Amino acid sequence: MDRIVFRRVSKSVNWKKLLITNSSVIALAIIFCWIALVTPGFFTTRNIINVLNQSAALGFMVIGITAVFITGGIDLSIPSVMALSGILAAMAMQNGAGIMMAVLISILVGLFLGLINGYAIGFLRMIPFVVTLSIQIIGMGICVWLTSKVSIPISNGTYLNAFSGKIGIIPVSVIYLAFMTFVATVLAKKSIWGRWLYATGININTATVSGIPTRKVLLGAYAWSGLFAGMASLLITSRLASASSTMGQEGVVLNIVSSAVVGGVSFQGGFGTPMGAVLGTLIITLISNSMNMMQISYYMTLIVKGIVIITFVCLDSIRHRN
Amino acid sequence: MSVPTLRFNEVSKAFPGVKALSNVSFDVCSGEALALIGANGAGKSTLMNILGGNIQPDSGGVLIEGRNVAISSPQDSINNGIGFVHQEIALMLTMTIAENLFINSYQTTSIGLLARNLMEEQCKTVLESLNCHLSPRTQVKHLGSGDQQMVEIARALLMNPRILILDEPTSSLTGKEKSRLFDAVAVLKSKGVAIIYITHFLDEVFPVCDRAVVLRNGEYVGGDTIENLTYTDIVTLMIGESDTDVYYSRDQHSVSESLNLRVKNLSRSGVLKEIQMDLHKGEILGLWGLLGSGRTEFIRSLVGLDPNDTYDVEIREEKRMVPLYKRKASKYFGYITENRREDGMLLPSSILDNMSLANLRSYLSAGPFMNDEKIKVESKKYIKKLDIKISNVDQPAGTLSGGNQQKVIVGKWLQRAPMILLMDEPTRGLDVGAKRDMHQIINDFVQSGSSVLLVTSDIDELMNMSDRIAVIDRGSITGMYPQGVSKEDLMAAASGFAKGDKE
């Protein structure tokens, strides 16, 4: 009798656990089904590819912020870092630089600003919110100053093709995102840096006492975030065939943070995976896309997004309580 | 005999896979202090959680003054006159004593403002009743931990409890503060309060308590008035064996002449004063000091976690002593901290993750990638060697008992095989069996030529385990004693009497 009761208890616990740990996958499935049913023209190949394509740049930034979230921090500077990378690369191309140079500039600018964030937070022990907000504002200022609010056209065909072209019907950006998700997942799961990152996020004191270079881990997390913001700029500027300061408005942060949170990356540090974060990105993009197709107003979209975020933050705290 | 104030009647509680309590029955009477004793996992916490309304028993119940009462929430517990003083001090540091006391029962004047004077008056009365003469307006952060403990007790007393539970009340107190606490317990007894006193320190049981009850594996295994019990009786009941030799006695011959570590000068303004100390190969050096003496600060400085003004340290490299640079310190030291849960472990992470944490670099396979198979094999070796009780290696470390958690931490450092292991209170909060295991582990560890610096508040443990004992007081080493020194000498040196140059 005892054994039967025991087994039943353990089974129901597992079921609940399964639900909670895979909440983003389940939510994605539910939202996908619902959207597919109510949105006219959703199930066209074109639209599905469109959604994936729209997710790609956001996905890069979300993979970036995931590392920062795991340390328990936040990076508000991603939009302007992304915009500044794109603008500088576009200006270089205007002056005759080739694709390699443009890519190098984008990546290095992102990395450099990320390192500034990381140094201030890891080594000077400054508060992530304040540091990255300041970098966002400074970056925005530089963007507007460089462009005078005029967008810079990009006409380099190789560049445009390399980042917004297609292989068959599949946009290259989707392939890049898939590849980087894979790289980030392997690093998170299998590399020593991944172990360091999670340990630092779960308990920085334990990590420090155990000889983990926690200051360098923080530096690395923000550098990673900056790097991915730089890479995201490649996808965005090539899709728009231009770079402008409006790419870096603060509103972008809303999408980045909500994607990560919906993807099960915890605000409280220590939990979350790049794979989950990218799934979260797909959910957020799906919502925007389908509401757009149903011609629901922008304001309504915001309300729905807000509700989705709150729901997932709620799931996150339930998960933490368990 | 009259009706007991509190009676546990055949209380049973099972958690999935574990029987936490089975048919536990005993009484507590008005005006008596009852010691509730048991090893970790004996069921004390479960029993107190039932009393506090946090868990419901599967069968059996609680009788208060002969009446069956249902305690289904913490509020029920308070309404039934049960007060708790928890192990961790939970006060609002920036608030005054009076504000803390009335934190959940503010009194207001007729127009709804805070009745500050009334509350301070009542606060003063309660404190006076404990022979504690503090101004109710003092901010709690200015109080020592002894006074903070008094404030905790005063807060519980405000509800006029008939039953008061003191859970490890002395774990953060020094000797003098303890005796004040014992006085307060005597006062409460004289007022007719029934007290349940939970402690690991058996030497406190005899002066404070009238009766003792021992739990083991969720069962009541014995209890009697204190006059009829001896230390050995209690330990025997707790561990259920006749072998009560708690402390490992050191093997004298294992200490080598050559050094592993020489601290020539470690200073930090206002905290550490020119600390000097040698550590031999195979030696266990005890470090004895009162709370706030700088013992933890010394260790943190030594491993490079805290800043220093001077860091002049030499370490053995092959056969020679070479200067140690602070940046490299973590290469040679393992550090077991005094706060297991705060900075010793990653509680939500798996046992494997915890055990490999200090040694990740040696588990690299190619480039930055980890060899998980090797981690598993190595960790399992130590799980076996240290006899860590787990259900599987992916279990979150936070689900283990205190003793097993501590073994996981030790296992983490043994994998690293550091030259010197710094242990700050390695047996705090462990039951007798786990303590003995830990002593055995420490002894085995130094056999290989490594050294241990052992900090402990348990003076018997210190005297039994150490080859030499260094005494630290107010940031300086005030004495170095061989094994066999008397307790009196150690106490004197630790309170600044042996040095001669009193300021």
DSSP calls for B469-494: EEEEETTEEEEEEETT--HHHHHHHH
Query: How many CB atoms are closer than 10 A to CB B445?
Result: 22
- B340 shares contact with chain A (CB less than 8 Å): no
Residue B441 lies in a domain: no
Within 134-173 of A, beta carbons closer than 8 Å to B belong to: none
The three-state secondary structure class of B172 is: coil
- A270 shares contact with chain B (CB less than 8 Å): yes
User: What is the overall mean pLDDT for chain A?
Assistant: 88
pTM, entire model: 0.76
pLDDT of residue B35: 93
- B330 shares contact with chain A (CB less than 8 Å): yes
- In a mutational test of the B interface, the residue from A12, A183, A206, A319 whose CB has the highest number of chain B CBs within 10 Å is A206
Q: Do A199 and B370 touch (CB under 8 A)?
A: no
Cα A176–Cα A178–Cα A179 angle in degrees, nearest 5: 65
Q: What is the CATH number of the domain that holds B60?
A: 3.40.50.300
Binned at pLDDT 50, 70 and 90, residue A4 comes out as very low
- In this prediction, residues A210-223 reach a mean pLDDT of 95
Q: Which residues of A touch B306 (CB under 8 A)?
A: none
Q: Do B337 and A209 touch (CB under 8 A)?
A: yes
Q: Do A187 and B358 touch (CB under 8 A)?
A: no
Any idea which of A27-41, A240-254, A287-301, B219-233 has the lowest mean pLDDT?
A27-41
Query: How many CB atoms are closer than 10 A to CB A206?
Result: 28
The three-state secondary structure class of B276 is: strand
Q: Which residues of A touch B360 (CB under 8 A)?
A: 192, 195-196, 212
Q: Do A209 and B368 touch (CB under 8 A)?
A: no
Binned at pLDDT 50, 70 and 90, residue A1 comes out as very low
Residue B358: which of A191, A211, A271 has the nearest Cβ? A211
- A27 shares contact with chain B (CB less than 8 Å): no
C-alpha distances (whole Å) from B29 to each of A300, B8, B66, B165 are 66, 12, 11, 13
CA B266, B270, B273, B274: dihedral to nearest 10 degrees? 40
- Whole-number CA gyration radius for chain B: 25
First to last CA, chain B: 57
pLDDT of residue B244: 43
Residue B308 lies in a domain: no
Count of pairs with CB atoms under 8 A, one residue in A, one in B = 68
**Above pLDDT 90, what percent of chain A?**
61
Residue B174 lies in a domain: yes
Predicted confidence (pLDDT) at residue A82 exceeds the cutoff of 60: yes
Separation of alpha carbons B382 and B347, rounded Å: 19
Residues near A176 by beta carbon (within 8 Å), at least 6 away in sequence: A56, A60, A163, A235
pLDDT of residue B503: 34
Separation of alpha carbons B44 and A233, rounded Å: 59
Distance from B366 to chain A by nearest Cα, in Å?
9
pLDDT of residue B500: 39
Residue A210: which of B348, B357, B367 has the nearest Cβ? B357
Q: Residue B279: enclosing H or E segment and its boundaries?
A: strand B272-280
Token pair listed for B221: 């295994």
pLDDT of residue B497: 53
Residue B21 lies in a domain: yes
Q: Which residues of B touch A203 (CB under 8 A)?
A: 342-343, 345-347
Burial of A117 (0-12, 13-18, 19+ CB in 10 A): buried
Cα A19–Cα A21–Cα A22 angle in degrees, nearest 5: 65
First to last CA, chain A: 28
Q: Do A205 and B370 touch (CB under 8 A)?
A: no
Residue B305: which of A13, A192, A209 has the nearest Cβ? A209
**Plot region of A240 (φ>0 → left; ψ -120 to 50 → alpha; else → beta):** alpha
Residue B35 lies in a domain: yes
C-alpha distances (whole Å) from B307 to each of A51, B298, B390 are 53, 11, 38
Residue B249 lies in a domain: no
The three-state secondary structure class of A96 is: coil
Q: Which residues of B touch A210 (CB under 8 A)?
A: 357-358, 412
Residues pairing with B69 in the sheet? B62
Within 92-121 of A, beta carbons closer than 8 Å to B belong to: none
Side-chain half-sphere exposure of B217, counting CA atoms within 13 A? 4
Distance from A181 to chain B by nearest Cα, in Å?
17
Separation of alpha carbons B44 and B63, rounded Å: 18
Tokens 């002049």, residue located: B312
- A176 shares contact with chain B (CB less than 8 Å): no
Distance from B358 to chain A by nearest Cα, in Å?
5
Predicted confidence (pLDDT) at residue A23 exceeds the cutoff of 70: no
- A12 shares contact with chain B (CB less than 8 Å): no
Nearest to B100 by CA among B84, B114, B81, B119: B119
Predicted confidence (pLDDT) at residue A2 exceeds the cutoff of 50: no
Domain containing B97 equals 6-239
pLDDT of residue B435: 83
Binned at pLDDT 50, 70 and 90, residue A20 comes out as low
Residues near A212 by beta carbon (within 8 Å), at least 6 away in sequence: A196, A199, A200, B357, B360
Q: Which residues of B touch A192 (CB under 8 A)?
A: 360-361, 364, 368-370
Q: Which residues of A touch B369 (CB under 8 A)?
A: 190-192
Residue B456 lies in a domain: no
Query: How many CB atoms are closer than 10 A to CB B273?
Result: 16
User: What is the ipTM metric for this complex?
Assistant: 0.83
C-alpha distances (whole Å) from B262 to each of B419, B452, B476 are 13, 13, 16
Predicted confidence (pLDDT) at residue A9 exceeds the cutoff of 50: no
Nearest to B83 by CA among B166, B143, B140: B166
Separation of alpha carbons A249 and B340, rounded Å: 45
Given the DSSP bridges, would you call strands B468-473 and B476-482 parallel, antiparallel or unpaired? Answer: antiparallel
| pLDDT, greater one: A109 or B432 | A109
pLDDT of residue B40: 62
pLDDT of residue B162: 92
Predicted confidence (pLDDT) at residue A24 exceeds the cutoff of 70: no
Q: Which residues of chain B have pLDDT under 50?
A: 242-244, 498-503
Residue A199: which of B335, B337, B346 has the nearest Cβ? B346
- A13 shares contact with chain B (CB less than 8 Å): yes
Q: Do B353 and A211 touch (CB under 8 A)?
A: no
Q: Residue B40: enclosing H or E segment and its boundaries?
A: none
Q: Do A209 and B344 touch (CB under 8 A)?
A: yes
Separation of alpha carbons B136 and A255, rounded Å: 51
pLDDT of residue B318: 85
Cα A5–Cα A6–Cα A12 angle in degrees, nearest 5: 90
Residues near B134 by beta carbon (within 8 Å), at least 6 away in sequence: B97, B127, B143, B147, B150, B151
Distance from B267 to chain A by nearest Cα, in Å?
21
Predicted confidence (pLDDT) at residue A300 exceeds the cutoff of 50: yes
Burial of B145 (0-12, 13-18, 19+ CB in 10 A): middle
Predicted confidence (pLDDT) at residue A294 exceeds the cutoff of 70: yes
Q: Report the domain count for chain B.
A: 1
Separation of alpha carbons A57 and A259, rounded Å: 12
pLDDT digit string (tens) for A114-161?
Answer: 999 999 999 999 999 999 999 999 999 999 999 998 999 999 999 999
Distance from A270 to chain B by nearest Cα, in Å?
9
Nearest to B430 by CA among B443, B415, B422, B440: B440
pLDDT of residue B304: 85
Residue B116 lies in a domain: yes
Side-chain half-sphere exposure of B118, counting CA atoms within 13 A? 10
pLDDT of residue A125: 94
**Above pLDDT 70, what percent of chain A?**
91
C-alpha distances (whole Å) from B145 to each of B99, B152, B175, B181, B288 are 18, 10, 12, 11, 20
- In a mutational test of the B interface, the residue from A209, A214, A215 whose CB has the highest number of chain B CBs within 10 Å is A209
Q: Do B357 and A9 touch (CB under 8 A)?
A: no
pLDDT of residue B263: 93
- In a mutational test of the A interface, the residue from B342, B351, B357 whose CB has the highest number of chain A CBs within 10 Å is B357
Nearest to A62 by CA among A317, A264, A209, A300: A264
- B360 shares contact with chain A (CB less than 8 Å): yes
Nearest to B408 by CA among B430, B419, A279, B420: B430
pLDDT of residue A6: 38
| pLDDT, greater one: A4 or A208 | A208
Residue A203: which of B16, B343, B372 has the nearest Cβ? B343
- B351 shares contact with chain A (CB less than 8 Å): no
Per the CB < 8 A criterion, the answer to whether B335 and B301 are in contact is no
Per the CB < 8 A criterion, the answer to whether B18 and B67 are in contact is no
